[in-house]
Amino acid sequence: MKVCAGGRRCAWIARMSENRPPNILWIVTTQWRAQACGYAGDPNARTPHLDALATRSVNYAQAVTPHPFGPFARAALLTGVRSPENGVRDYYDPLPANARTIAHELGERGYATAFFGKWGVAERDRAAPLVGEVHAKTWVPLEARGGFEFWEGFEGGFLLNDPWLHGTRLPEPVQRHGYQSDVIGDLVVAEILNPKSQILNGDRPWFAVVSLEAPHPPYDAPAAGVERRAVTLPTNVPRGGDVEAKAARELAGYYAHIEATDRAIGRLLAAVADDVIVVFTSVHGDMHGAHGLFRKGWPHEESVRVPLLVRGAVGSNPGSRSDESVLLVDLPAMTRAWAEGRAWTCTRDRAEISMPSVVALPHQCDRAWSGWRSPERKEVFNTDGSPWLVFDLANDPEERRNGV
């Protein structure tokens, strides 16, 4: 690529003159619901960097996760195939080693591919605590890394501070000190800004995934110095009891992690050239006391709707809003189109959502279910086909009146 003193603008001109495919960056968070952004109107969310990104992006305001639980959603996001068809039916099911992912697709198109951060779809010890060093140090073997040419991250563990990393350059897990979003973001920045990097600065276009656990619990974990503040609770959180108290306490920590992670994302975006296509999203949300419920797996808006910003895609209109029924399972197809210089358009009028199985953890959804959501309506069914929930989203966005 040509080099000149014109910085990002010169890099953009050089790539266009060479007809080089665009570099593409996915930033994927965990448990960050669509409502919890400043640009979405949330009075609690301090997200100046994402708000700035939104002014330069298409805001897919109706985007939903196909499955509001981590492993199912991550498997679908990587493969473009819904769970359980992609091989992940149970919470502990690993992504099959022969699963075809977006990394394979773009690698075949000449891209260098890299993954940084939380993986979340490898083999795990069912007897080990979900939070802590055992899972944080779980080794993800080369054949289980989804075809990414470079891979440096961790399976899980929810250590929002001082994470353990292993991978291509780290034959053993190594602990990195600091807030996890900062550690992972700064690692990627170092590669983007390093002219000698063989990961993101070679002769090939690159595709990178930055995967962060925040703002996943534990919500009381330190958030890089961001103080917890009192929050304004949504009106669909029941008042006057334990639910209200727990929601207020958890959300104070949740929004602190959102603010800290927005800041880390801001540093990352400052290092990314203007011609890089940037995606920001989350694998699912969190109920946080809405309807008296907590955590995820539920078909309610707080659990299934996710933020989705796309900056710089072919044919996009910066600062615009789309109400298309986009699913996270669409991202591989969207990314393939961008890599080939094509625009992508959603052709469905409603999005299929489901939970393939029950996850036997506290506060999670108590049943498997399937259903669909459009911007105006949602219908959810039990496994025997009987209706469970029906909501008129156009007139009842807080889902207060079940039409069953």
**326 CB-near residues (< 8 Å, 6+ apart):** 60, 62, 63, 64, 308, 346, 351
142-198 per-position pLDDT tens digit: 999 999 999 999 999 999 999 999 999 999 999 999 999 999 999 999 999 998 887
Looking at the domain assignment, is residue 9 inside a domain? no
**Residue 224: predicted pLDDT:** 98
Sheet containing 351-355: give its strands across: 351-355, 369-373, 377-382, 387-392
What integer is the mean pLDDT of 276-303? 98
Residue 18 pLDDT grade (very low, low, confident, very high; cuts 50, 70, 90) = low
Looking at the domain assignment, is residue 370 inside a domain? no
3-state secondary structure of 379: strand
Residue 96 is part of which domain span?
21-347
353-403 per-position pLDDT tens digit: 999 999 999 999 999 999 999 999 999 999 999 999 999 999 999 999 999
Check: CB of residue 285 under 8 Å from CB of residue 294. no
**Residue 15: predicted pLDDT:** 46
**Residue 201: predicted pLDDT:** 85
294-312 per-position pLDDT tens digit: 999 999 999 999 999 999 9
Q: How many domains does the chain have?
A: 1
Cβ–Cβ contacts within 10 Å for residue 345, how many? 10
Looking at the domain assignment, is residue 353 inside a domain? no
What integer is the mean pLDDT of 51-72? 98
Looking at the domain assignment, is residue 383 inside a domain? no
Q: What is the CATH number of the domain that holds 85?
A: 3.40.720.10
HEC-encoded secondary structure of 346-360: CCCCCEEEEECCCCC
Q: Which has more confidence, 30 or 16?
A: 30
Sign of the dihedral through C-alpha 294, 299, 301, 305: positive
**Residue 14: predicted pLDDT:** 45
Q: Using alpha carbons, select from 162, 151, 190 the residue that is nearest to residue 268.
A: 190
Is the pLDDT score of 270 beyond 90?
Answer: yes
**Phi (first) and psi of residue 315, to 5 degrees:** 75, 5
Q: What percentage of the chain carries pLDDT values higher than 90?
A: 91
Looking at the domain assignment, is residue 107 inside a domain? yes
Helix, strand counts (H, E) of the chain: 9, 14
Looking at the domain assignment, is residue 318 inside a domain? yes
Is the pLDDT score of 1 beyond 60?
Answer: no
Looking at the domain assignment, is residue 286 inside a domain? yes
Q: Which residue type does 54 have?
A: A
Residue 19 pLDDT grade (very low, low, confident, very high; cuts 50, 70, 90) = confident
**Average confidence score pLDDT of the chain:** 94
**Residue 196: predicted pLDDT:** 86
Looking at the domain assignment, is residue 248 inside a domain? yes
